[in-house]
Amino acid sequence: MQRRVVVTGLGLITPLGTGLEKSWEGLKAGKSGIGPITKFDASSFKTQIAGEVLDFDPLEWVPKKKIRRLDPFIHFAIGAGRMAWEMAGLPETLDDETAVRTGCIMGVGLGGLITLEETIRMTEHKGFKRVSPFFIPKLIGNMAPGEIAMIHNCRGPNTCVCTACAAGTHAVGDAMKTIQRGVADMMVCGGAETVCTATTLAGFGAARALSTRNDEPHRASRPFDADRDGFVMSEGSGVLILEELEAAKARGAEILAELVGYGLSADAYHMTAPDPTGGGFGRCMQMALDDAGLNPEEVDYIQAHGTSTDLNDATETLAIKLVFGDHANKLAVSSTKSMLGHMLGATGGVEAVASVLSIRDQVLPPTINYETPDPDCDLDYVPNQARETKVKTVLSNSFGFGGTNASVVFKTYQP
């Protein structure tokens, strides 16, 4: 019998607010977290909007002496991790016996870019002798799972996934497999990212990947809509606590959902564009369904990657049709990026949390700004308003630059 993996804790930090329920209520209400950039002067850029987290106070989540020693993406990881940890009803610090069976895997796309930019600016004026001894630890992605482990005494498997926009979903799937293999009984997993910086904006802008709808920020991210003109850069964190079923039951944990499937694939096609046949996306989704032992008809809802770019949205739609056949027309599909923007490495963790909440509350978050149908995007995208409906099985997709793909499947927990 394969070890079953269940979800017992969730944490969210998004442009809609710091805190699980605050962000989730905003998603269900169809609110947009996109606005003018405030964290640096973006007036000279073609794109001047982003999904910034504006209400996060690191003092509420991070030990005071560590705040200056950690990049903001690590602050986010710690904050969302603490939320999930508390929701799971776990002690602040694990005892030694539990600690060695508890690990952490986090997805990070770009890591400490804020620290990198600040350090480069400083060296231009003061020289390299002034570089902080904390520069490298603040910069590297694996400090996110490292710090979470140090706070809670998680001494089991500890890794960082760096697979661009698929990183958060890969982290969730890898954590599931770690538990199934018997290497751990509990895993903290998800993603964290703070990429609302000048160099990131310039880079994605140069690639013509970003929306330039500066006069209407709340309408800029419009996945699957015919008038979409690019994605909106964003930041945040989404973290889950996964446990082996019997271990969770033994400590009386509330079980929110079961994680049953994981798929991953490569397009092997292009640096930034998806395989236009949908083959890479499709293989990834099919692998997740096969891993879960599910038929396509058993899926109720797809939490889409849905970036609001021409190529991604059309290709994801095509891939869904390839995998689900006639059932594709009966599926609900939506993209929370329409409200949150694109958090790169964090997005898979955030969307995994939203998938579990959809099962918990039996409600589907909408795709807002869906106004003009696109002939190449003709599925049920839950347009503009949340939908209360029966939700038993959810598939969540993440696809990244380099042609890296990941999908996970959650189900209603049944004893």
Of 256, 265, 255, 268, the C-alpha closest to 356 is 256
Q: Among 195, 232, 196, 216, which residue's Cα sits nearest to residue 41?
A: 196
The residues near 102 (Cβ < 8 Å, ≥ 6 apart) are: 94, 152, 154, 155, 156, 184, 185, 186, 187, 188
- What count of other Cβ atoms lies within 10 Å of the Cβ of residue 375? 7
Please say if 218 is a catalytic residue: no
> How far is residue 281's CA from residue 264's CA, in Å, rounded to a whole number?
9
Query: What's the one-letter identity of residue 339?
Result: M
The answer to whether 245 and 1 are in contact (CB under 8 A) is no
* Biggest CA pair distance of the chain: 64
Compute the distance between CA of residue 173 and CA of residue 241 in angstroms, rounded to an integer.
12
The pair phi, psi for residue 186, each rounded to 5°, is -145, 140
Annotated catalytic residue within 75, 152, 170, 305: 305
- Which residue out of 165, 189, 284, 377 is catalytically annotated? 165
Active-site annotation holds for 162: no
Between CA 403 and CA 275 the distance in angstroms is 8
125 is a catalytic site residue: no
Which residues are known to be catalytic? 165, 305, 342
